[in-house]
Amino acid sequence: MGQLSGHKVKFLYRMQLKRSTTSVSDIARLMKIRLISAELLLAVASLILAGGLSVKWIELLELIVLGYMGLGGSAAINSYLDRDVDAIMSRTIDRPIPAGRISPRVALVFGLSLLALSVVLSAFLLNILTALIIGVGSALYILFYTVYLKRRTPNAVLWGGLSGAIPALGGWSVYAQTDWAVPLLIFLVVFLWQPSHFWSLSIYYRDDFRNAHIPALSTISENRTIARRSLLFNMSVIAATYLLYFVGHLSVAFLAIMTVMNVLLLAASVAATQNRPKEFYWRNFRFSLAYMIVFLLSMIVSGVLSPTMVAL
């Protein structure tokens, strides 16, 4: 079948654990710090857009710390659940668990502990709704996406995007629990953005996904078909950013910055529909990430200049 058996994977872990030690960077990789930092930035942007400079620094600090705990705990559990496929894919084979630097049991206990602490402390320090959103987002990521969808259907990335976009609601709920139109539109932008972003990655690592028997869209469709679908999603993303601008009364700075980024996103998406080497899609993947970071930073700027200032 091309996969490592459970016994072989366990043997690999045991042998490598004997000659490896855990470092701070291993813990960071287990928590997928780079990935969850972008998700945490989404929560922070939503919070700042809601309240601007009236947001208390202690609330911002608590959101960052507890957010890292919740997102990092979920990522560690994901790493535990995906340890068999991570041991096969060249992109992930050096992650701490398949490389034998962290044992699966330690990773699971660490992840569950972090996640539980995040939810409980959020309920006490922030509010019950924020704690509930963290719990629901984690359940969507761990149970719905990782356990149920990822190995069953190419559409996993579509519905799995629910968990990736939910920090928009969590950040907003720290400041206010009303006027949900704006955070739902932020949620919509991120939700629509994720499929094209992942599809570019899956084209570049097509062989990895095939070898691991993960039914990514790139394993069953050719590049141009995927690119056309990505174009439709990215056009929806562009439309959603302007809807967010008008409904949320965001600053002119947001409008100007995102117009430039939207033109670039549209141009890259159209170019991808032609026959391109896989390196082109890797560059699109990196640009897509830059697009999202700029979108989030633009919301923060807008929040500082002209916050939504919802009714508390």
Residues spanned by the domain of 283 = 30-305
Domain assignment of residue 20, yes or no: no
175-211 residue pLDDT tens:
988 889 999 999 999 999 999 999 999 999 999 999 9
Q: Mean pLDDT throughout 43-57?
A: 94
Q: Mean pLDDT throughout 198-227?
A: 93
Domain assignment of residue 177, yes or no: yes
| Nearest Cα residue to 98 out of 25, 6, 215, 36 | 6
Query: Does residue 18 carry a pLDDT above 90?
Result: no
Domain assignment of residue 221, yes or no: yes
Domain assignment of residue 22, yes or no: no
CA distance 225 to 228: 5
Total of domains in the chain: 1
Query: What pTM was estimated for this model as a whole?
Result: 0.90
Domain assignment of residue 136, yes or no: yes
Domain assignment of residue 17, yes or no: no
Question: Which CATH number belongs to the domain containing residue 173 in this structure?
Answer: 1.10.600
